[in-house]
Structure 1
Amino acid sequence: MNSLFELIDFDDIETKKPEADKSAPGENHSADEIAIIGAAVKLPRADNLRELWNNLLFGISACSDFPDQRYRDIENWFKCRNIRLTPQMFKKGNYLTDIDKFDYDFFGLSADDANMMDPLHRLLLETFWNCLEDGGYCMQKVSGTCTGIYVGFNNDDIERYSRMLQEKRVRFTMATMENNLSSILASRLSYLLNLKGPAMLIDTACSSSLCALHIACQGLKNEDCEMALVGGINIGMVPIKYEGFRVESESDTLSPFDDSADGTVWGEGVVSLLLKPLRYAVRDRDHVYAVIISSAINQDGMSVGISAPNAVAQRNVMVNAWEKAGINPEEISYMEAHGTGTKLGDVIEMEGIRQAFERYTDRKQFCGIGSVKANIGHIEGASGLAGVVKLMLSLQNRVIPKTIAFNRPNHSIAFEDSPVFLVDRLTPWESTGGRRTCGISSFGLSGTNCHAVLREFSKDAPVSPEPAESAPYLLAVSAKSAYSFQQLLRAYAELLVENPAIDLESMCYTAGYGRDHHRYRAAFVFTQKRELLDALKSAWNGDAARFDTNGLLRSEEKEALDREADRLVLDASQKRGGECHQSYLDISRLYCRGAAVNWKLLYKNRAVKTLSLPVYPFERHRCWI
């Protein structure tokens, strides 16, 4: 086992831009099918997909009191207004605890700029970055591409961070204004990564993020963009209780479709998905979580009230999506409902579902239904994407988590005479012969409704040939700070423990070609998983060999390193098995000295694919005014 470490005194390594893949798109996939190839979340009690899935499996509610630190921050703000607050004035809810934390160094910002930036911008930046990495994409690969960004955000909170800055008499500059504009939520990452696709904000109230997903899918089909990042975000800066808002639960429990349901409970969170046409995702060997086979959007029009739900409009948007998908609705075995836990909303939604299914079938109780809002609350404009994440994780694991806080069916809903049943226990997701298919609905207070149909992804991938016993692997790990570097080493060790059958060569391919390479670096040459695991543990304990360049590399030194790395990579790409061992050692030494490695060439003609690997662990600096 060989492990090499180095601290290089420059922040970013420029590598050659890989050529676009000109090969034919994947066969047998409709041009309308959109793959979800990356995902990231920051939700109450769940900073990542794994934590969210565990919470869903174990039926955990994230509802809590308003976090103490956030209360102190708001209390200090309201002193500027001569208003005295008490903790009892704040609602229970599903809160994020550290909206004041941000890794400004990573994004090339100063502490002062970060302090003046709305937490919405900071949280969305980090989540989008993690989403890209989860999909195996990095700045190196996406810069200059026609990648779109679509953000769903309910922009109605008058107690914004910008208002706090003004009331604390902070001097406003052009940069301060830019750091607090909602319209820049989408375009900030486009600017940072030089993305050329559309960047837009969608606000339809509660349905904003699912509508953003629908518009992103249309953009991909119309070739407005090659890939699309879709995000949803909601933060309640000052969640003070107000009398007379009848949709809120007095019991502080969100109980979708339950007879005791007395209203909704608000939540916070950030969700991001990376989308790509399925035929290109298959061609490029991307990791696919699930496939969006259709989506539809409509409006209530004139109804009982402008904010009142409309069963006929909800029925129509579902029917439209199913017709677009060209499916028999009896194939749908689970529906992620809007499910806000309100007396009126739940009953009307179930009526719309019944009417939609009964256009095609008279079967009863063949489709499960549930709502993630029972676990994480109603995160308003981001709620639709949260439901999509629940669906894609359920499809991957072939298990449907139970909807918590359900004890007795709403007496106004005749489940026994309905096409659906409430999933009230952890349920294996059985296949009925074809691929598992599901739907998700999101209905906005604005009257704008959206429905999407998802299907599991399965294809007969070519079996990777068993490597020779002595065949080496080369894993590269890097970060911009010592803290993040140590956290990343630990994350890779945990990955190996939790995934004993992981494809090691694909892991190394993704870590090399799917990540940017930063100042702190490690390279591991190994032949067995146990060997790598031991080296990672030694590395984060500081027991590995270290190398120091003693300052900045001069340009001629960097060019010489890059040329030598290119030569070694070309040589290694033409070898197999144990023949690569010395080449990998030489490449790893050059990598740790700052050389740019052509990872794509290194794995040319290898049976590798993109895997979901640990994403960048950002440092947690407090950024507040």
Structure 2
Amino acid sequence: MTQSHSDTGAHAAGAPEAGPMDIAIVGLSARVPGAGDADALWSLLMSGGDGLTTFEPHALTAELAQLTDVERARYVARRGVLDGIEAFDAGFFNLSAAEATLLDPQHRVLMELVWEALEDAGAADCAGRRVGVFTTSGLSHYLIKHLLPDPSIGERHGQLQLLMLNDKDFLATRIAYFLNVHGPAVNVQTGCSSSLVALHYACLSLLRRDCEMAVVGGVSIALPQQSGYVFSENMIGSRDGFCRAFDSDASGTVRGNGACAVVLRPLADALANRDPVWAVIKGTALNNDGRDKVGFTAPSPKWQADVIDAVYRRSGVAPDDVDFVEAHGTGTPLGDPIEARALNQVFAGARRPRYLGALKTQIGHLDTAAGLAGLIKLCMSLRNGVIPPTAHFRTLNPRISFDDSRFTINTEPVAWPRRDAPRYAALSSFGIGGTNAHVVVADGPADARQAGAPCDERASSAQRGPHLIVVSAKSAASLAALTRAYADAIAALDDAALADFAYSTRVGRRGFEHRLAVCADDRESAVARLRAARARFSAKPIAGVRVAAADAHAVAAQLGVTPPDGASRAIDAIAARLAEWGIAIDAGSAVRLDAAGGRLHVAAPGAPSETIDAATPGTIGCYLQAALWCAGVAVDFGREAAREAAGAVAGEIGGEAGEKARAPARRRIRIPTYRFDRRRHWIDAPGERRGDGRDSGPGDAAAPEAAASDARPRKPPAEQPTSLVALEAVLLSHWRSLLGLPTLRSTDNVFEQGADSLTVAQFVAQLSAERALPVHVVDCYSEPSVGGQARLVGARIGLGGRAAAAAQASAPAPEVERFDNL
């Protein structure tokens, strides 16, 4: 039986109508061989070349030494690699250095890509919402080849910790935990078709309203990366390291490491939210070959054709309307002819030519992530109006004929412009074992299609500056990098796009501790001010701003409000005006707004007072938002978004009296995504050569902050400390080792530094075994600082005095996380 989701709605001119079953792709990200992001992937596609790496013989000395002469003669030193997988921004994802070092690089890369896709969708502020996470990953080579060979790592951190940081089962839930979202969190494993199968179930979950938005991600990273393979006639690897799908010289595929993510919403919701729409999913289908084939690993033309046909039978899309099909296209002597037979069966009797593509020829076979990579290729082809070439194709395989289906494999880019009728594209993904998937996508509705690009400048005063651009990050280095990226992107824009760019920085992105903001009237001033801006740091968000009663009338006057009689009524008037800009009044706030000397000033703790230097009362809102947001005040930019969505925008920022123009609403456009502050968190495999030229030993972590496997030898319990100072030093040493943080202080909250229930259990077990110290799990929750824990334990062994003992006896036991579900 074939399972599908589909739409039977009618088509509107220029694009499919927004039917009740349509799913919009509103965000995407990719990291594949030869391309570090989606834009680089498009450049690679258009080049017609591939992103695979050919290794020099001297780099493979150890591997080649293990082969026979016959095997060396058939060795192919080529594959698709990902650069920089050893590095990760642990702090951004609230992980300790030790956790990051033990975490499978597949989890790390996909976590980053999910965040980038959410920012691309303008949906990174999704915490607390019913968002689904559907993921897939490959085998954890890192666990098998890097961690398990060193028994001390498991002894030090525990097998459960290694399992949870590396197993496929915990990828989707780890992402959901970080995002703090509450939809389904599901990992899908069907071999090569896994990520397209995950997409299918994400669509069903959206249609059933199990979630309001869904993230789908796929990743596959095989280790070691610097490794080829021995060619065999009976295996799927290519004879020469080139994938030549459907070509007469095709001899197999090539392995590639990579990851992709997409963000989905029901199309009706996406349009209501004015989301940029990459493409619209019109239908998906799944089935399985069963035993209708030669063997378990062999494909079945009958059931491939069935899953393809099912989408068109149930979606209202006719096969003859499809312009472009992205094939599974492995380039294997068996697989290509079988896939061609299935395509010919469904697309027989074509009235016009259509194009067939194969992404694996350019980035290799990404295994579990292959389907999503092909989907992103279709999205970018629709957005750019071009069908990219297929690499390494010269003449069609003589066992294949496309005479009836009229498929053409293009070796040069083909224009695919928008037109009155919808444009459709399709994608197949077939897994070893027989799980087959097919999806058909189309243009987004005209308005949504254009939302990813800036709108034209309108002549109304509402379209003029100043424009508020905000930047934030979790570290100073990330803030500086993102600010540079914003400045470079704005420098390449037209002036007309600045307002939409600025709007996109304010809506749909999460605000972090390190911040800066600028107000600019045009592109040149925006670039200059971003490059000269002074960053601010705010540890915790502040609810609102305080206005003293004595300053109320002066502040009201500066805000363009006629001050009513009485301070309380003046503050009410100020509150109403500030609310238009998403700013709340909070009498207890540490940030104060005053009007000393006839000008507005923002005073925040630990920072010099900032003067609001606006040319007119009508522009004060922009500068005030900038100053308060940098000071840590929670400015509700969503109020602005809602006001613009209604299409009623005041002629002056802030809604001051005067001529008001009904202006087209601002919309989100693509702007640079977060710049991660990556550091090396990696344990080399035994005998693997490090970057410094020496061989690493078992459990040798490269960076000091990632020294997760620095295991101490087992020995009889040491003597107990004889003073609180000595006890604190012992506890601190253990915590520093467990968290991989040599700079941890006794006053730090260990949970804010990456500790969790597993590390607490390890901490207690180590101190019991190595020091015979009576440390309890509840101690770490009662006193999250090392100094506090030392006082509790010290009281038990007679080091803390009567006061500490009494405090311990009277302290209530906190709730402690348990593992009842294991």
TM over 0.5: yes
Give the 3-state SS of the residue equivalent to 1:454 in structure 2.
strand
Matching residue within 670, 677, 682 for 1:624: 682
Change (3 A) 1:566 1:230: farther
The aligned runs of 1:108-123 (5 Å cut-off) are 108-123=94-109
Mapped to 1, the partners of 2:422 and 2:112 lie a distance apart of 34
| Residue number among 576, 579, 584 corresponding to 1:570 in the alignment | 579
Number of the residue aligned with 2:223: 237
Determine the structure 2 residue equivalent to 1:164. 146
Instruction: Provide closer, same or farther for how the CA distance between residues 136 and 525 of structure 1 changes in structure 2, counting only shifts above 3 A.
Output: same
Instruction: Indicate how the Cα distance of structure 1 residues 473 and 69 shifts in structure 2: closer, same or farther if over 3 A, else same.
Output: farther
- Alignment length (residue pairs): 572
**Structure-1 separation of matches of 2:677 and 2:577:** 35
Distance 2:496 2:331 in 1: 41
Higher relative contact order (CA 8 A, sep 6+): 1
Asked if 1:368 corresponds to 2:340, the answer is: no
Give the equivalent residue in structure 2 for 1:605.
643
Counterpart mapping for 1:1-400 below 5 A = 29-65=18-54, 91-138=77-124, 141-155=125-139, 159-169=141-151, 170=153, 171-173=156-158, 174-238=160-224, 239=227, 241-242=229-230, 244=232, 246-302=235-291, 303-358=293-348, 361-363=349-351, 366-400=353-387
**TM-superposed deviation, 1:188:** 0.3
- Give aligned-pair identity as a percent: 33
Whole-Å Cα distance in 1 between the matches of residues 577 and 34 of structure 2?
Answer: 46
CA-to-partner distance for each residue in 1:569-625, whole Å, 9 max, x for gaps?
424479xx9754112112211111111110011343221222222111111211112
2:522 to 528, 534, 537: 528
Query: CA–CA distance in 2 between the matches of 1:92 and 1:510?
Result: 41
Q: What SS is found at the alignment partner of 1:424?
A: coil
Q: Please give the per-residue CA displacement for 1:344-376, whole angstroms capped at 9, x wherever unaligned.
A: 111111111011112xx353x611001111110
Q: Which runs of 5+ in 1 are unaligned?
A: 1-26, 80-85
Partner amino acid for 1:200?
V
Farther-moved stretch of structure 1 (461-470 vs 204-213): 461-470
Letter in 2 for 1:570: A
Relative distance call for 1:68 and 1:285 in structure 2 (3 A) is farther
Matching residue of 2:480: 486
Residues 345/465 of structure 1: CA separation in 2 closer, same or farther (3 Å cut): same
Structure 1's 71 and 598: CA in aligned 2 closer, same or farther, altered over 3 A? farther
Residue pairs, 1:557-596, within 5 angstroms: 558-561=542-545, 569-572=578-581, 580-596=618-634
Aligned to 2:494: 500
In 2 relative to 1, CA 387–569 (structure 1 residues): closer, same or farther, beyond 3 Å?
Answer: farther
- Give 2:678's aligned amino acid: R
Cα distance in 2, alignment partners of residues 498 and 482 from structure 1? 25
Q: Which of 373, 398, 401 matches 1:411?
A: 398
Cα deviation for residue 297 of structure 1 reads: 0.6
C-alpha displacement at 1:63, in angstroms? Answer: 1.2
Does the CA contact (< 8 Å) of 1:190 and 1:196 recur in 2? yes
Contact 1:509/1:599 (<8 A) preserved: no
Amino acid at match of 1:241: Y
For residues 609 and 243 of structure 1, what CA distance do their matches in structure 2 show? 52
Counterpart contact for 1:566–1:597, Cα < 8 Å: no
Q: Confirm or deny: 8 A CA contact 1:263 1:343 kept in the other structure.
A: yes
Shift in alpha-carbon separation, 1:127–1:504, aligned structure 2, 3 A:
same
Q: Is the 8 A contact 2:474 2:512 kept in 1?
A: yes
How has the CA–CA distance of structure 1 residues 161 and 499 changed in structure 2, closer, same or farther, with 3 Å as cutoff? farther
1:458, distance to aligned residue in structure 2 (A): 3.0
1:11 maps to what in 2?
none
Instruction: Look up the match of 1:448.
Output: 435
The CA deviation string for residues 205-256 of structure 1, in whole angstroms up to 9 with x for no partner, is 1111111111111111111111110011111113552464521111110011
> What is the RMSD of the two structures over their aligned residues, measured on CA atoms?
3.0
Partners of 1:211 and 1:578 in 2: CA distance: 56
Q: Is the 8 A contact 2:514 2:535 kept in 1?
A: no
Q: Which amino acid aligns with 2:674?
A: Y
Q: Which amino acid aligns with 1:270?
A: A
8 A contact 1:39–1:273 mirrored in 2: yes
Superposed displacement of residue 175, structure 1: 3.1
Q: Deviations over 1:4-43 (max 9, x none)?
A: xxxxxxxxxxxxxxxxxxxxxxx95212100000111111
**1:306–1:447: 8 Å Cα contact kept in structure 2?**
yes
**Of 463-472 and 451-460, the range deviating more from structure 2:** 463-472
Return the TM-score normalized by structure 2: 0.65
The alignment's TM-score, normalised by the length of structure 1, stands at 0.85
1:439 partnered with 2:426: yes
Residue type at the aligned position of 1:299:
N
User: 2:126 and 2:269 mapped to 1: Cα distance?
Assistant: 15
1:457 aligns with 2:405: no
Deviation, 1:506, is 2.9
Partner AA of 1:589 in structure 2: A
